[in-house]
Amino acid sequence: MNRKPRNVPAARWAALAALLALLCLLGASSAPPAPPSAVLLTVDGVRWDYPERFGLPAFAEMARKGLRVRRLLPPFPSLTWVCHATLATGTYPDKHGIAANAFLDRESDTRFAKEPEAKWLLEPPLWVLAERAGLKSAVISWPLSDGDWRGVSPSYRRGFQKGRGGSDEESVRYLLDLLRMPPAERPRLLLCWTSGADDEGHEEGPDGPGVRKAMARCDRLVARLRKGIAALGPKNPVVLLVASDHGMSAVEKTIDLASLVPKKGFFPYIAASGPMANLYVKDERQKAQVLAALKDLPGGCRVYPREACPAELHYAACPRAGDLVVLAPPHATFRAFSRSPVPPPPLKGNHGYPPDDPDVQGVLYLEGPGIPSGRVLPEASAVDVAPTLCRLLGIAPPPRADGVSLLP
- The confidence score (pLDDT) of residue 35 equals 86
Which pLDDT tens digit goes with each residue over 220-235? 999 999 999 999 999 9
Of the pLDDT bands very low, low, confident and very high (cuts 50, 70, 90), residue 269 is confident
* Of the candidate ranges 1-15, 140-154, 255-269, the one whose mean pLDDT is the lowest: 1-15
Q: Which residues of 81-120 are buried (b: 16+ CB within 10 A; e: fewer)?
A: bbbbbbbbbbbbbbbbbbbbbbbbeeeeeeebeebbebeb
Q: pLDDT tens across 365-401, in order?
A: 999 999 999 999 999 999 999 999 999 999 999 999 9
- Tell me the pLDDT tens digit for each residue of 41-94: 999 999 999 999 999 999 999 999 999 999 999 999 999 999 999 999 999 999
At residue 217, does pLDDT exceed 70?
yes
For residue 321, the model assigns a pLDDT of 98
Q: What is the pLDDT of residue 160?
A: 83
Average pLDDT over residues 241-268: 89
Q: Return the pLDDT at 345.
A: 79
Dihedral over Cα of 308, 309, 311, 314: its sign: negative
Q: Which strand ranges, in their side-by-side order, compose the sheet holding 189-194?
A: 156-158, 137-140, 189-194, 37-43, 238-243, 362-367, 67-73, 375-381
Find out whether 349 and 317 touch, Cβ atoms under 8 Å. Answer: no
* Percentage of the chain lying above the pLDDT 70 cut: 88
Q: What string of DSSP letters covers 191-220?
A: EEEE-TTHHHHHHH-TTSHHHHHHHHHHHH
